[in-house]
Amino acid sequence: MLRTLRIYTLRIPLTYNTYSIDSPQSDTQLIMGLDQDISFTEVFPVHELIPDGTPFHSQAIWRISITCGQEEGMDVLPRREFFLHIDGIAAHSQEEAGEMLQPFLHRVCRSLSMMITRANGNKHLFQPRVEPQYSRAEWAHRAWEEYDRAVGCEERERTVDCVDGEGNRYIEMYASFGIAAQVSCETTIYGKLPAGDFAKYYRVGNEAMEYLLQEYYTALGQENVKSKFFHLFSIIEFIEREYVHLSGAVKLYAPEEVGRIKSALAGVFPEEPDRQSRLESAILQRVKDITDIGREQKLVNILRGMGIHAFEEWGNVIEIQREDIRQIIRKRNDFFHGICKSREKEGISVERAVARLMGICPGIIAYVADHEPSCLD
């Protein structure tokens, strides 16, 4: 059977949990729209041998738009979901087009999630993660005239064929989405996201930025709270390693002093070279790493060097102090070293640690994006 390239179109809702992470039945919800539609294109080279063996070279231009609009019957309240429309996907089948779209959909959802996070002043309650609603996807395809001319079958296909998320075929390009009216006594926190910020999170050309965005995105949504904590703390460990120059720490021992310490250790176990080597390695590595300030203060200094001085908690702006960081580090060590559950109850709760990290980490990501030119295309 002839494998024919067609042009596919997809319209799919992108949704997120608008309610509190602690209570899906909460009477308060967070809804974010867009101050304007987001539109852009992506260009992909297409190289294929047509049936007679002739090379076919072209470009597939994806025309992409992300919209939100208003809730039905309301002039101010945004809809509780985004809509993504993509036209121009060159593929042999809907399944192939869907596979091609997976990384793209992930980047779009991650970018929207980060935009919501930056605007969310209640991260202790709301941690929405935008995700595609595949069951409501609407597909359509048409002939790719340029390809058909190349293979000599221009009149082969002119009818637009559409398939909904359940496999039903229909002729109309798009079906309308009905939203049932709901009457409730909810408090709705809403706003509009600056569409211009989308590119900051979407067009990432740096492995470090990709890593940070992915860790934060994974921590959003209904993820287990301990999993959230570890994903967020990995961002903290990243800046400890990569931005140590902002810590203000000074090593206590100069290289020549380390050399004298090594000489003093020599000959402790002259008859046991393996033990001697292990002793020197353990002590000297520790000596080289000792600084005039501890881990907690280094992190506070790094964050302040990034312009991150505070986080929001229950509507209050709280300045980051050494004790705040110490408690978060202790919580990490308790989990990492298998401390018993009775110890876990001491100090800050994991839920509170997550809420604080949710507030701190977006500032880290924004700093990396703004100060590393290679992070953006």
Mean pLDDT, residues 26-33 taken together:
75
146 shares a domain with 12: yes
Reported for 367-375, long-range contacts at CB under 8 A and 24+ positions apart, including other chains, are: 367/306, 367/307, 367/308, 368/208, 368/209, 368/212, 369/200, 369/201, 369/209, 372/206, 372/208, 372/209, 374/205, 374/206, 375/204, 375/205, 375/206, 375/208, 375/209
Judgement on whether residues 117 and 172 belong to the same structural domain of the protein:
yes
In a domain, 161, yes or no: yes
What's the pLDDT at 163? Answer: 53
pLDDT score of 109 more than 90:
yes
Q: How far is residue 140's CA from residue 168's CA, in Å, rounded to a whole number?
A: 12
Report whether pLDDT(28) > 60: yes
Task: Summarize pLDDT for 184-215 with one digit per residue, the tens.
Answer: 344 666 678 888 888 888 888 788 899 999 99
- In this prediction, residue 75 carries a pLDDT of 67
pLDDT value of position 306 = 95
Encode pLDDT of 329-365 as tens digits.
999 988 876 664 545 556 788 988 999 999 999 999 9
Supply the mean pLDDT for the chain. Answer: 81
Residue 164 has pLDDT above 60, yes or no: no
Instruction: Find the mean pLDDT for residues 105-131.
Output: 88
Residue 283 lies in a domain: no
Does 57 have pLDDT greater than 50?
yes
Binning pLDDT at 50, 70 and 90, where does residue 165 land? Answer: low
* Pair 179, 327 in one domain: no
Q: Are 221 and 129 in contact (CB under 8 A)?
A: yes
Residues 198 and 304 in one domain: no
Mean pLDDT for 299-323 is 89
End-to-end Cα spacing for the chain: 41
Q: Is the pLDDT at 285 greater than 70, yes or no?
A: yes
- Average of per-residue pLDDT across 236-242: 94
Domain count, the chain: 2
Q: How far is CA 155 from CA 10, 145, 173, 189, in A?
A: 24, 9, 20, 53
Q: Of 259 and 69, which is predicted with more confidence?
A: 259
CB 46 within 8 Å of CB 57? yes
Same domain, 246 and 166: no
For residue 31, which of 83, 76, 66 has the smallest C-alpha distance?
76
Q: In the structure, what pLDDT confidence band is assigned to residue 122 with cuts at 50, 70 and 90?
A: confident
241 and 156 together in one domain: no
Confidence of residue 77 (pLDDT cuts 50, 70, 90): confident
| pTM of the shown model | 0.75
The 3 state secondary structure assigned to the chain is CCCCCEEEEEEEEEECCCECCCCCCCCEEEEEEECCCEEEEEEEEEEEECCCCCEEEEEEEEEEEEECCECCCCCCCECCEEEEEEEEEEECCHHHHHHHHHHHHHHHHHHHHHHHHHHCCCCCCCCCCCEECHHHCEEEEEECHHHHHHHCCCCCCCCCEEECCCCCEECCCCCCCCCCCCCCCCEEEEEEECHHHHHHHHCECCHHHHHHHHHHHHHCCCCCHHHHHHHHHHHHHHHHHHCHHHCCCCECCCHHHHHHHHHHHCCCCCCCHHHHHHHHHHHHHHHHHCECCCHHHHHHHHHHHCCCCEEEECCEEEECCHHHHHHHHHHHHHHHCCCCHHHHCCCCCHHHHHHHHHHHHHHHHHHHHHHCHHHEC
User: Is it the case that residue 2 has pLDDT exceeding 90?
Assistant: no
Share of the chain above pLDDT 70, in %: 81
147 and 242, same domain (yes or no): no
Least confident range of 50-59, 295-304, 312-321? 312-321
| Domain boundaries, position 57 | 6-202
Last-in-domain residue among 146, 181, 202: 202
How far does CA 289 lie from the centroid of its chain? 33
Mean pLDDT calculated for residue range 54-77:
83
Residue-level length of the chain: 377
If pLDDT is split at 50, 70 and 90, which confidence band does 266 have?
confident
Q: Are residues 37 and 120 in the same domain?
A: yes
Mean pLDDT of 280-303: 87
357 is a domain residue:
yes
Which pLDDT value is given to residue 18? 75
Residues 320 and 189 in one domain: no
* Residue of higher predicted confidence among 60 and 285: 60
Task: Answer yes or no: is 186 within a domain.
Answer: yes
Task: Flag whether 301 is in a domain.
Answer: yes
Same domain, 15 and 76: yes
Instruction: Supply the pLDDT for residue 354.
Output: 92
Are residues 176 and 246 located together in one domain of the fold? no
Question: Does residue 55 fall inside a structural domain?
Answer: yes
Residues 184 and 243 in one domain: no
Summarize the confidence of residues 146-160 as an average pLDDT: 66
Choosing from 179, 202, 225, the residue where a domain stops is: 202
β-bridge pairing 6-15 and 131-132:
antiparallel
